[in-house]
Amino acid sequence: MKQLLSLLLFTIIFQTVNAQSKQPDISKPDPNKKIQTVELSCGECKFHLKGESCDLAVRINGKAYFLDGVNIDSFGDAHANDGFCKAIRKAEVQGEVVNNRFKATYIKLLPQKK
């Protein structure tokens, strides 16, 4: 029985890690698609979108969309002094709006101006 439970636990952990590793590679732009500069921040904290928790969002031409394809902590701690829950950053992105969400295929966070 212990072996069965151990095997089940291992399978669940493996599946979780494997699913997380299948996130799209957002570090390489598609040379055939337009790159646009947008604002990137926490949808709830900075763009005032309705949601359950802190989630990354883009603002394009004044309209904010939750972002799919990357986690809010992918660029560091979202709740740090310079994190997405405290700051709005500029980024270069590729992707498209689908069902009122931005499906990112490329994101490059731009340096902050001092």
**pLDDT by residue (tens digit) across 41-81?**
999 999 999 998 999 999 999 999 999 988 899 889 999 98
User: Is pLDDT larger for residue 44 or for residue 2?
Assistant: 44
Q: What is the pLDDT of residue 20?
A: 46
Task: Go through 68-94 and write b for each residue having 16 or more CB atoms within 10 A of its CB, e for each that does not.
Answer: bbbebeebeebeeeebbeebebebebb
Q: Which ranges in 1-114 belong to alpha helices (H)?
A: 2-20
- Domains with residue ranges and CATH for the chain: 27-109 (2.40.50)
Report d(CA 6, CA 60) in Å as an integer. Answer: 48
Rounded distance between C-alpha atoms, residue 57 and residue 80, angstroms: 17
Under 8 Å between Cβ of 101 and 66:
yes
Q: Is the pTM of this model over 0.85?
A: no
- Cβ–Cβ under 8 Å, residues 106 and 95: yes
The predicted pLDDT at position 35 comes to 94
